[in-house]
Amino acid sequence: MAGNSVHSQRPVAAEIHRAVAGPGTVGGRPLRGAREEIVMQAPPTPPRALARRSCPRAPLVLSASLVVLACTGGAGETESGTDSATAPTSATNGMTSPSSGASTTSGGETGGASDMTESTSSETTTTGDASASSDVSASSDGGPKLDVGAPDAGEQETEGTTGDGCTSVDLLFVIDNSVSMGDYQNALGLAFPGFADAIIESLPPGTNLHVGVTSTTMGYSSLGITQNCVATGDNNVPQDGFYETPDMVNNGLNGAQGRLFDPGGGVYYYDIDTDADPAEVQGLKDWFADAAKVGTGGSQIEMATAPVGWVADPANNASNAGFIRDEGAVLVLFFMQDEADQTPLTIEGAPGGVHVRTRIAAAKAACGGTNCIIGGGFLNQFCYDQTPISDLLENLGAPPEVTELPDENLAEDFPDQAAEEMNQLLRDTLTGVIAQKCDEIPPPQ
């Protein structure tokens, strides 16, 4: 997708970008905020991303969770204020809420931090006030499995090449809920119906879909400053200090720490079959339009990768139980973010992205680990190859489909056009990747 973002081409010389945000909304209420960016000697866009932007998109085979991230406006220094988010209240049929009785506080979010030890770019971002341990190891599957030829006559097809196909697809959207993301969240909600129609059409009748949303908040900071790809938050605390995990400190905030976001009614994810009637499909679209608006009152230390490691953890069973299936299921991780990932560079002695990848792969062990997971998203390319998000996405079951967000002014002034631009990735490309990966994964035994 051709991006208009200021992050697409960054000059080596220092630049100062200033933008004063007009009134935004948090759960439908006015939001006051402003931000300023300072970009200093930004590194060049990663070669992989440049190649993708210059070539036509072709369907990829990915096993993915959708993660959406928001940023404070790009590489640079940003100041912005946030109000606490309020959750939408609509609920429709077809949604699923876990049986556990534990509940979360709607509209809140937190942000986490961990050790960041390497940096080569000079980005500085400051975001203003807002309201309100995982194991790392190599994944069981080292990377994508490629078909190298048809089996010999009489030889049984192996896992990943059987024609039976998957029986379910789990779509996880990781959405940035910092102060700058309101317009992007709205545009994503407008884009989703086209994507939903395409994915339902591309998968076999009766394939079951789970759709869920989480945020980039682990622990909460009202301030975020990123310099040389390393962030600090309130009281100059390094980003590691905001990596708060739900097994140790459950902050109870809706959609935080890898918990699925409840837009209202106790429904944490939507459960629907691809041969559902039109009323149910419309219910999914309505539900996601609310769920995508996770708010802009989350942590200004924005961790995209970290929450993925906790989506399948028992500590979050109250909201997440049953969302991720193992055998016979494709897991799609989709991120939406306008800031560099601020997940700790190191978690429990391992690279942050490797640690998270190992944890989520364990939830897909019977299916084939990372081979059954694909990913992509709208991501800030600044610092991409120096942050954990690249370690996560570049080592899944297919190469990730990644592009920049639409221009922020387009999202604010012409959200329908921004939504159509988003669908060049979602509807036109990712749908084909998901369908192809589904074809490769055998049904449960």
Distance in angstroms (rounded) separating the CA atoms of residues 388 and 344: 7
Query: Using an 8 Å Cβ cutoff, are 289 and 236 in contact?
Result: no
Sheet of strand 230-232: strand arrangement = 15-19, 35-40, 122-127, 224-227, 230-232
Single-letter amino acid, residue 314: P
Distance in angstroms (rounded) separating the CA atoms of residues 123 and 338: 13
The percentage of the chain sitting over the pLDDT mark of 90, rounded to a whole number, equals: 61
Residue of higher predicted confidence among 71 and 251? 251
Question: What are the tens digits of pLDDT across the range 63-107?
Answer: 334 444 444 444 334 333 333 333 333 333 455 556 443 333 334
* Residue 177 clears pLDDT 70, i.e. is over it: yes
Q: How many CB atoms lie within 10 A of CB 142?
A: 11
Question: What are the tens digits of pLDDT across the range 178-227?
Answer: 999 999 999 999 999 999 999 999 999 999 999 999 999 999 999 999 88
HSE-CB for 31 with a 13 A CA cutoff: 30
Residue of higher predicted confidence among 110 and 333? 333
pLDDT at 98: 61
Single-letter amino acid, residue 385: D
pLDDT at 95: 54
pLDDT at 96: 59
* Residue 144 clears pLDDT 70, i.e. is over it: no
Distance in angstroms (rounded) separating the CA atoms of residues 371 and 398: 8
Question: What are the tens digits of pLDDT across the range 348-406?
Answer: 999 999 999 999 999 999 999 999 999 999 998 889 999 999 999 999 999 999 999 99
Collapsing DSSP to helix, strand or coil, 87 comes out as coil
- Residue in the block written with tokens 């301030």: 223
Q: Give the containing element (helix H, strand E) for 441.
A: none
pLDDT at 228: 87
DSSP calls for 237-266 = -BTBTT---TTT----BTT-TTPPP--STT
Query: Using an 8 Å Cβ cutoff, are 181 and 70 in contact?
Result: yes
pLDDT at 15: 30
Question: What are the tens digits of pLDDT across the range 399-427?
Answer: 999 999 999 999 999 999 999 999 999 99
DSSP calls for 124-184 = EEEE------------SS-S-----SPPPTTPPPPTTT-SS--SEEEEEEEE--STT-HHH
Q: Mean per-residue pLDDT for 296-314?
A: 97
Of the ranges 139-143, 240-244, 324-328, which one carries the lowest mean pLDDT score? 139-143
pLDDT at 9: 34
pLDDT at 312: 97
Question: What are the tens digits of pLDDT across the range 1-28?
Answer: 333 333 333 333 223 233 333 333 333 3
pLDDT class for 167, splitting at 50, 70, 90?
A: very high
* Average pLDDT over all residues of the chain: 75
pLDDT at 139: 37
* Residue 153 clears pLDDT 50, i.e. is over it: no
The percentage of the chain sitting over the pLDDT mark of 70, rounded to a whole number, equals: 63
Question: What are the tens digits of pLDDT across the range 38-70?
Answer: 334 444 444 333 333 333 333 333 333 444 444
Q: Mean per-residue pLDDT for 125-129?
A: 43
pLDDT class for 445, splitting at 50, 70, 90?
A: confident
